[in-house]
């Protein structure tokens, strides 16, 4: 990549909105936005964007040699920027698992691309062009940014109606059945999710993401376009990050609603901090993450730098822990993924049995939901989120989807878990009210 142009930081907000709407001109787009979240001391960039592609890797779940193809692609594109996603069902290539539930989104299992153009926002906003791109193309891209007009999102809310894949009574019955598995010792905890969906709907994903990001400015927000497949994410959670040989994971477990009254809001926050059930859920997943990282980390390097910290977001308070480790030099990206994916916060513990039961009790394949989107930089460092609080859209199928859920333990109250799932959904579905 070679630097082409530098933009004034004063253009930061409008420039990002222009880039989101410029996405309609490209088949491959990834925009990652931290929304200047002050509590994340690990992020290297305020936002990143990749447009177009000079090389890409698309893998379906029935492909053979998935990780060999992944390794080959990254070797061929060493020292390049790479953006992409890992779908939840990659689990089937890590463990002896399968996915046979309904899938109307049809995302790939792995999709990576090397962009033609990169924009980074750290201390400065810079545009880079891939070395294979000629000056005329670079000039054209730069002009298209400068000429792009941003209009306030305007989508037809009344035409978008969501249905629930699992109805209230069935949801409660499923939780009861899951708790029986916990009682029998099959699992200690399981992440159980439900889908909200809208069929035969035509939307403008750029408009929706712009509006979503204004309402829910999350630290791991992402807009991803791969041909007909779109992700509009307001994720608050980091899956895994590597800087040199240092690696961190920040699982979220524990949610409380916000209140408009300041004193009441503080009480809800304090209640979450002192909630023994929520803390137990979080600690259980922290132990799982520690175990995952210990499989690839240097001996005795795995450390919990923060346990059950409470962080506030526009709609909810969250309980977040931070687990760190040191890796041996030249640890392959695929080795890290095989040891840690899917993230424990979206499975449960023990992980393999929890994933088997997820397949049994949920009605749809998760696909990119519960997967991860992120980037790998030219130095081999990377940062990937957890795909939650996200809308998924397949333009050709005209299918729009949102999934939410939570951790089920033996002490879980089924109705409270159901209401928590609705609370998480409403933060996004409220866009269409």
User: Mind listing the pLDDT tens digit for each residue in 60-113?
Assistant: 989 989 999 999 999 999 999 999 999 999 999 999 999 999 999 999 999 999
Domain encompassing residue 22: 2-432
Q: List residues with catalytic annotation.
A: 237, 253
The neighbouring-strand residues paired with 349 are 189
What pLDDT, on the 0 to 100 scale, is given for residue 182? Answer: 97
Q: At what angle do helices 414-429 and 168-183 cross, to 10 degrees?
A: 130
Q: How far apart are CA 369 and CA 347, in angstroms?
A: 12
Query: How many other CB atoms are found less than 10 A from the CB of residue 176?
Result: 12
The residue assigned the tokens 């709407």 is 21
pLDDT tens digit sequence for 377-433: 999 999 999 999 999 999 999 999 999 999 999 999 999 999 989 988 988 998 887
Please state, rounded to an integer, the average pLDDT across all residues of the chain.
Answer: 93
What pLDDT, on the 0 to 100 scale, is given for residue 15? Answer: 87
Q: Which two tokens stand for residue 105?
A: 């989104």
322 alpha carbon, distance to own chain's centre: 17
- The three-class DSSP label of residue 113 is strand
Q: How far apart are CA 106 and CA 96, in angstroms?
A: 21
Residue 203 pLDDT level (bands cut at 50, 70, 90): very high
Helix (H) or strand (E) holding 248: strand 246-250
Alpha helices (runs of H) in 216-341, residue ranges in sequence order: 262-273, 276-294, 333-340
Domain count along the chain: 1
CATH number at residue 100: 3.60.120.10
Q: What is the DSSP letter of 94?
A: T
* Torsion 251-255-261-263 (CA) sign: negative
pLDDT tens digit sequence for 327-382: 999 999 999 999 999 999 999 999 999 999 999 999 999 999 999 999 999 999 99
Strands, E assignment, 303-421: 303-312, 316-326, 348-349, 372-376, 382-385, 390-394, 399-408
Q: How far apart are CA 360 and CA 344, in angstroms?
A: 18
Query: How many other CB atoms are found less than 10 A from the CB of residue 359?
Result: 18
Listed range (98-102, 115-119, 131-135, 409-413) with the worst mean pLDDT: 131-135
Listed range (26-35, 53-62, 63-72, 143-152) with the worst mean pLDDT: 143-152
What pLDDT, on the 0 to 100 scale, is given for residue 41? Answer: 84
Q: How far apart are CA 172 and CA 187, in angstroms?
A: 18
The neighbouring-strand residues paired with 224 are 30, 231
- Tell me the average pLDDT across 285-313: 96
């Amino acid at each position: 990549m070679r630097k082409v142009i530098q933009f004034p930081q004063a253009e930061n907000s409008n420039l990002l909105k222009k880039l989101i709407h410029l996405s309609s001109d490209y088949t491959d787009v990834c925009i990652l936005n931290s929304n200047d979240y002050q509590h994340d001391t690990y992020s290297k960039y305020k936002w990143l964007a990749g447009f177009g592609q000079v090389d890409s890797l698309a893998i379906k779940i029935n492909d053979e040699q998935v990780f060999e193809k992944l390794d080959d692609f990254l070797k061929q594109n060493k020292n390049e920027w790479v953006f992409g996603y890992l779908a939840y069902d990659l689990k089937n290539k890590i463990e002896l698992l399968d996915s046979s539930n309904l899938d109307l989104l049809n995302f790939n299992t792995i999709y990576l691309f090397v962009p033609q153009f990169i924009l980074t926002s750290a201390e400065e906003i810079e545009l880079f062009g891939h070395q294979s791109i000629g000056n005329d193309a670079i000039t054209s891209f730069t002009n298209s940014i400068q000429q792009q007009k941003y209009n306030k999102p305007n989508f037809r809310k009344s035409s978008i109606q969501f249905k629930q894949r699992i109805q209230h009574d069935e949801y409660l019955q499923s939780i009861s059945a899951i708790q029986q598995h916990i009682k029998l010792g099959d699992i200690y905890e399981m992440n159980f999710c439900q889908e909200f969906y809208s069929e035969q709907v035509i939307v403008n994903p750029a408009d929706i993401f712009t509006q979503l990001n204004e309402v829910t400015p999350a630290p791991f927000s992402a807009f991803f376009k791969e041909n007909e497949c779109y992700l509009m994410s307001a994720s608050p959670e980091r899956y895994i990050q590597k800087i040199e040989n240092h690696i961190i994971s920040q699982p979220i477990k524990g949610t409380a609603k916000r209140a408009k009254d300041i004193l009441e809001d503080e009480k809800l926050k304090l209640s979450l901090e002192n909630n023994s059930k929520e803390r137990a859920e979080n600690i259980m997943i922290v132990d799982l993450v520690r175990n995952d990282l210990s499989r690839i980390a240097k001996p005795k390097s795995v450390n919990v730098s923060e346990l059950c910290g409470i962080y506030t977001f526009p709609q909810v308070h969250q309980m977040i822990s931070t687990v760190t480790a040191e890796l041996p030099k030249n640890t392959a990206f695929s080795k890290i993924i095989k040891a840690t994916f899917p993230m424990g916060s979206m499975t449960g513990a023990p992980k393999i049995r929890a994933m088997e039961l997820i397949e049994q009790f949920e009605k749809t394949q998760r696909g990119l939901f519960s997967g991860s989107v992120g980037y790998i930089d030219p130095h081999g460092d990377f940062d990937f989120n957890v795909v939650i609080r996200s809308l998924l859209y397949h333009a050709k199928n005209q299918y729009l989807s949102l999934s939410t859920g939570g951790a089920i333990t033996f002490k879980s109250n089924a109705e409270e878990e159901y209401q928590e799932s609705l609370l998480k959904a409403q933060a996004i579905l409220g866009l269409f009210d």
